[in-house]
A = this chain, B = another copy of it.
């Protein structure tokens, strides 16, 4: 039976898993769960993942969720996945685990959309929480710039080719694409290495990276050139619920 991937391409960890399958030639069936329609909250989906989160996979009788554990599983279970994605070498592999756990405790915790983007788009939110989340995001970007990207290569940990950590973190940061350009530049502008790394990763995983981000880019296009003040007065067409459901 073919690998089944339950995903919503508006969610960053879902995109990471789909891109990983595509770039590594893993044969899979994508089962779309539209979180804005609360499809992930149905009893049917609870059979796949009782935690009701995306992405989730079913490989034969084996069910798994949490995107990082899925990426590691796919890298180990499917033949032909190049070593750089999840190196067999214990030291390299351990460093990748370190990035992935750091990601969950830091960058992932900022919940970019929920707490940083929503207020920028003018939706009701807790301003104090948003300010704290922005500080946290900026601090995470600073740590990526100064520590995880301090090596010689263009990728995290000084790698010359991307690992699952690059894929996961860049997919996370891609959520920033939907921001007003000025606001996004204010966030990312100071981090030249981060900007280069995002470009390198997108390029290294083309055309799949771009393909899987099309939905997100459509949203970006819809929001393009909407001045922040207009957004602050409700001039955008996405609902808070729609965004929140995808986080």
**Chain A residues in contact with chain B, CB under 8 A?**
50-51, 62, 64-69, 72-73, 76-77, 90-91, 94-95, 97-98, 100-102, 104-105, 108-109, 143, 146-147
A73 touches B94 (CB 8 A): yes
A51 touches B143 (CB 8 A): yes
B51 touches A94 (CB 8 A): no
Beta-carbon nearest neighbor of A94 in chain B: B73
* Copies of the protein in its oligomer: 2
**Which residues on the B side are within 8 Å of A90 (C-beta)?**
73, 76-77
**Which residues on the B side are within 8 Å of A98 (C-beta)?**
64-66, 69
Closest 8 CB pairs of A and B: A69-B97, A104-B104, A66-B101, A69-B98, A73-B94, A66-B98, A68-B101, A50-B147
**Which residues on the B side are within 8 Å of A76 (C-beta)?**
90, 94
Sample of 19 more A-B contacts, CB < 8 Å, known A51-B147, A62-B91? A50-B146, A51-B143, A62-B94, A64-B94, A64-B98, A66-B101, A66-B102, A66-B105, A69-B94, A69-B97, A69-B98, A69-B100, A72-B94, A73-B97, A76-B90, A76-B94, A77-B90, A100-B101, A104-B105
21 A/B residue pairs, CB under 8 Å, sorted by A:
A50-B147, A51-B143, A62-B91, A64-B94, A64-B98, A65-B98, A66-B97, A66-B98, A66-B101, A66-B102, A68-B101, A69-B98, A69-B101, A72-B97, A73-B90, A73-B94, A76-B90, A100-B101, A101-B101, A101-B104, A109-B109
